Every structure is written in C-alpha cells, then in structure tokens.
Amino acid sequence: MTQIKKSLPYIIAVVGAFIAAGIFIAAIQYNPFEAYKTLITTSFRTPNGFIQTLMKWVPLTLTALAFTVPLSSGKYNIGAEGQFLAGAIGATTVGILLADLPPALLIPLVIIAGIITGALWGLISAWLLYQFNINEILSTVLLNFISFQLVDYVATGPWRDPSAGAPTTIAIGQNGYLPMLIKNPPLSIGVILMILVAIGIYFYTNKTTSGYELVATGANPRAAKVHGIDTRKMFLLSMVIGAAAAGLAGAMEVSGVQHRLIEGIHSNFATLGLIIGLISRGKNQAVPFVAFFIAVLEVGASAMQRTMMIPSQVVLIVEALIVIFILLSDLIKRRQK
C-alpha cells in the first residue's frame, strides 16, 4: 500500500501528460483515441513490432544509465551521445582491423573496445572535473561535438564504403557480429547483455560498499567527505561507469545491428536516455522499465506516422509533458511537507 501511495503521483503525471497531449492531437484534427491505440499496441500486435521495441530498448536503457549512474553521485553526464559514438568507433576499429579472428575472440574484443573507448571519452570530462574542477555539463556537451567530427572522419576515411550514399564504413568482420537470438526478425544477444549490465549496476549501487559511497556522495557530499569518503574519486568513478555503459550501447549497435559505423548511428538514443533518466528520477533500478515504455512509444510513433499521418514529434511532446508533470508533482510534494 505504501509503494502504491508513493507511485500514485507519477501515475497521475503520466495520465495527465497523455490527456494534455490528447487535447493537442484533437486540436490538430486527429483522433486522439485512435492515435493512442496505435501508439500503445503496435509493439505487441506483431512479432516484428515487439522485436523492434526490444532493439530500441537496449540502447535507450544503456544511454539512460549513462545519465543516472553519475547522477547517483550528484553529477550530470550530458555526454552519452559522444560516449556512444566513441564506443561505436572503437568497436568498428577493432572489428575491421582484426576481422580474421575467430568469433570467440573477435566478438568479446569488439564489445570490450566499445566499453573502453566510451569509458575513456567519459574519463576526459571526469579528469577535467577532478583535476581542474571544470563543470562536467560543459565538458561533456562540448565533447559531443568532437565525437561527431570523429565519426565523420572515420566514416569518410580509408574505411569508407564507396557504394554507400552517406558517410559509412565498410562492414566489420562477420566473426564480430553478435550472435542472434532470433533470425527473423533479427534480434541479437545484445538484449541479454543489456539486462545483465542493468542488473549489475543496480547491485553495485545498492548492494556494495563502493556503490553506497557513490550514492552517499550524491546525497550529501559534505557529510560523505566528513565520514572519510573521497568524493572527488566518486565523481570520477561514476562518470566513467556511465560513459562505459554508453560506449557499450555504441558497440552493440555496431556489432548487433548495423555491423558498420554510419553517420547518425546514435539516432536520438542519448536525448531519449536523458528523458528516461529524468522520468526515472535518477533511480537506476527504474531505468529499464521506463526505457521499455519509451521504446514502446517510439515504435508506436513510427506506426502512427505511417498509418494516420500524425507527426511522430507528438510522442516527444508526450515524453516532455511526462517529465514536466513529474517534476511538478515533486515540487508539490516538497511544498506540502
């Protein structure tokens, strides 16, 4: 009963967001009931719809964790986009250069390369914060722009695919492709890896001493420092863990979906990851569930646009309203105390 009472404001916030967006949909002369039916049910009507939802669920969860893990220590990682791309570049580099290795070696190396390059990209901001106290929001955002240029350089360099109509590399070695859980429609084991990572992060932040220190740092840095916790190291550690999750997302997009580096491979995953992190209120354990809900909305948005000609941006309005309503509910609760 207590848990239901705690969840009620957020349920009301979600319902309120859908009502407000429904009024907007009606105002632009579309049927909101048909729109929401398409939005919610597309992911579950066909196997292909459900597989597409799972494929979006993987990077959305990981990029959201890239935001919520640093948030646990009180820091804001706005650089998941750049860290995702760094991971994709690292995975592509290893997948092309070591293409002749057997799958048992190449697949782990491709994934590890993505994790390491993503973590190193996050380490830049973490080190600037640790060494010079440079605001992590500024540094992570600026590094995103550098990553865009790096992708363009790699995708149009010696590894470019001359037959592609956009900046794209040649494919990584087939031995670096993630194994498939389902072949038609295709779904790789990336979804299992993501679930294991999400569980691992939950246990780390909630069940270990180091994780407790990280969360305590975010809750009250001054008190944590008084009790002997090196808060600066916790800031650095949380940024690196979050960046590694984003790098893993980039590696799995290369190894499990695209099999090459493509300009725009990051899609809108990082932006949605930020929204998911805010809706989850920074709770790592809530991220996979909220990410699945957002994945359902994203797949439904594409169907809604195809079948009803409703702009897919309507879903962004719904997601933004959910964030606003949740923030308002938090504000109201604080004022009532």
Q: Tell me, what DSSP letter sits at residue 180? A: E
* Alpha helices in the chain, H assignment, sequence order: 2-27, 32-45, 47-72, 80-97, 103-132, 136-155, 190-207, 209-219, 221-226, 231-253, 269-279, 287-308, 313-336
Predicted confidence at residue 281, as pLDDT, reads: 85
Q: What is the band of 88 on the pLDDT scale with cuts at 50, 70, 90?
A: very high
Query: Tell me: the pLDDT tens digits for 225-253?
Result: 888 899 989 999 999 999 999 999 999 99
Among residues 185, 192, 200, 189, the alpha carbon closest in space to that of 107 is found at 189
Residue 212 has pLDDT above 80, yes or no: yes
The CA-based angle 167-173-174, given to 5 degrees, is 115
* SS3 (DSSP) at 262: strand
User: Taking a C-beta distance cutoff of 8 angstroms, is the pair 61, 248 a contact?
Assistant: no
Q: What does the domain layout of the chain look like in residue ranges?
A: 58-290
Predicted confidence at residue 6, as pLDDT, reads: 67
Strand partners for 160? 169
The pTM of this model reads: 0.93
Q: Which H helix or E strand runs over 160?
A: none
Name every residue whose Cβ is closer than 8 Å to that of residue 135 and which is 6 or more positions away in sequence. Answer: 129
The CA-based angle 230-232-238, given to 5 degrees, is 100
Predicted confidence at residue 4, as pLDDT, reads: 60
Predicted confidence at residue 3, as pLDDT, reads: 57
The whole-angstrom separation of Cα 202 and Cα 235 is: 18
Predicted confidence at residue 13, as pLDDT, reads: 82
Q: What is the band of 124 on the pLDDT scale with cuts at 50, 70, 90?
A: very high
CA 120 to chain CA centroid, nearest Å: 17
Q: Are strands 186-188 and 180-183 parallel, antiparallel or unpaired?
A: antiparallel
Q: Extract the tokens encoding 86.
A: 């760094």
* Rg of the chain in Å (alpha carbons): 21
Q: Extract the tokens encoding 103.
A: 């799958």
For residues 83-104, give the mean pLDDT. 97
Query: Tell me: the pLDDT tens digits for 26-74?
Result: 988 888 899 889 989 999 998 999 999 999 999 999 999 999 999 999 9
Q: Is 302 exposed, middle or buried (0-12, 13-18, 19+ CB in 10 A)?
A: middle
Tokens 């420092």 belong to which residue?
A: 225
Work out the number of other CB atoms within 10 angstroms of the CB of residue 83: 40
Among residues 302, 326, 328, the alpha carbon closest in space to that of 316 is found at 302
The whole-angstrom separation of Cα 244 and Cα 250 is: 10
* SS3 (DSSP) at 230: coil
For residues 121-133, give the mean pLDDT. 94
The whole-angstrom separation of Cα 188 and Cα 257 is: 8
Residue 141 has pLDDT above 90, yes or no: yes
Residue 195 has pLDDT above 70, yes or no: yes
Taking the alpha carbons at both ends of the chain, their separation in whole angstroms is 20
Query: Tell me: the pLDDT tens digits for 253-296?
Result: 999 999 999 999 988 899 999 999 988 888 999 999 999 999 99
Among residues 141, 144, 146, 125, the alpha carbon closest in space to that of 241 is found at 125
Predicted confidence at residue 84, as pLDDT, reads: 98
Phi/psi-derived region of residue 259, left when phi > 0, alpha when psi is between -120 and 50, beta in every other case: left
Residue 337 has pLDDT above 80, yes or no: no
Predicted confidence at residue 315, as pLDDT, reads: 84
